[in-house]
Structure formats: C-alpha cells, structure tokens
Amino acid sequence: GEDVEQSLFLSVREGDSSVINCTYTDSSSTYLYWYKQEPGAGLQLLTYIFSNMDMKQDQRLTVLLNKKDKHLSLRIADTQTGDSAIYFCAERTGIAAGNKLTFGGGTRVLVKP
Amino acid sequence: EPEVTQTPSHQVTQMGQEVILRCVPISNHLYFYWYRQILGQKVEFLVSFYNNEISEKSEIFDDQFSVERPDGSNFTLKIRSTKLEDSAMYFCASSGEGLFTEAFFGQGTRLTVV
C-alpha cells in the first residue's frame, strides 16, 4: 500500500532557505503535492509536480523529485516568518479525477527571526 | 476565491451520540471527500463521493459512517454512534474534473468525543 514519510520538525532562520523532505513508497504515484497548514486553517495547496518531471520552480518554491529513490523535497528560498506552518507531502496514484491523496505526517517548520 | 466551508468549526459530543459534520464544496466541483487527522497522526482518507455515490472508501469508513449530498450544495458526514477514538479533525475537500484536479480543503471540524 501507499506510505508517505516526512521528518517531524525543521527550524530555520529568517532569510535562509528551508528544505523539507519526503519519501514515498508507491512507484505508481502520478502527482505529488505540497500542502501548507497554518494554525486553525485548512490545507492549502502550495505546489505540485507530475511524476515525469524532476523539478518545478514556482517563485520562492522549488520542488525536486527523485523518482528512482522515491524522494520529494520542497525548498523555500528566503524563508519568512509567515512561512511558519506545518507542511504536508501527499501523493496521488492514477490520473483519473477523484483519486484519493495519501499524506505524510507533516513537517512543522519554525522560522526564527 | 472559491472555498470549501465546513461547519461547525468545533463540536463536542458524548460517546454514543450521532454527529453530522457539514461541508459546502466549491459549487462547480463534482468530487467530494472526507479526510480525518487524529491529533499527532497523519491526515487519513475516509471516503470519496461522485455522482451521488461513494466511489472509494478506506477501511476506517465502516458502518458507523455515512455520507450524503442532501441537496445541491451540502455534503455531510454522519457518525452514527461516536466513540472516543473518533475524536479528530475532519477535513472536507472537493475537486473538479480534468487531468489535473486540485483538491481544495476546508478549514476542518474538530470533533471531540467525551
């Protein structure tokens, strides 16, 4: 079955880059996602990558995918205090609309001034 | 910007009671989902719903759970006889059709069973 794992916690200084890592087991994953959850809020989609891509850049966010190692990372450049949140990696198997997401446990990112 | 809304934001109920969690998905979306997150654990898939029927459900979604789209706008999750272990944050999500379908999540309902 599908399984997604993340480290629990990351502390970073404001202005530095953050790198959040994720591993997954399902080799038939088609899309991989990064969601952000701020306190009291829902899950906000930050970015995603299709499984045939190695890298995707979206402003301060860079997603790297190593499909061979089943490793996904999210790099946040110039991390700001507003980036403090829990970040969830998720995978989706199949391309049909309506497929479920399998989430990792979330990485709590704390940005120190 | 369209959003998924959930009510209530927090519900406290006694063990054995029935609860109904409510969601208003984004209006032109066709797929609806419930996920839950027990405190300190992963966000887990419960059920997906399309064309007025369940399209997929997890092993968590047993006979105590049911979903319904009672009208054109609401999507509900009912837990018939709540147990202490049902205490969790419940997230509703919806998505449209197409090759890439982003799932939009609501802010969640925190259910506390006492």
pLDDT single digits (tens) B50-92: 989 999 999 999 999 999 998 878 999 999 999 999 999 999 9
Distance from CA of B81 to the nearest CA of A (A): 26
Strand partners, B47: B34, B57
pLDDT at A6: 94
pLDDT at A96: 67
CA A32 to chain centre: 8
Asked if A102 lies within 8 A of B45 by C-beta distance, the reply is: yes
Amino acid letter, B52: N
CA distance B63 to B45: 16
pLDDT digits (tens, 9 = 90+) for A36-86: 999 878 899 999 999 889 999 999 999 999 999 999 999 999 999 999 999
Q: Are A100 and A92 in contact (CB under 8 A)?
A: yes
Three-state secondary structure call for residue B21: strand
C-alpha torsion B76→B106→B82→B66, nearest 10: 30
Comparing CB atoms, the residue among A45, A98, A103 nearest residue B43 is A103
Distance from CA of B30 to the nearest CA of A (A): 9
Asked if A97 lies within 8 A of B108 by C-beta distance, the reply is: no
pLDDT at B72: 79
Q: How far is CA A103 from CA A13, B3, B25, B63, in A?
A: 27, 21, 21, 24
Query: Phi-psi bin for B70: left (phi > 0), alpha (psi -120 to 50), beta?
Result: alpha
CA distance B106 to B25: 8
B94 touching A (Cβ < 8 Å): no
Q: How far is CA A17 from CA A13, A33, A63, A88, in A?
A: 8, 19, 13, 18
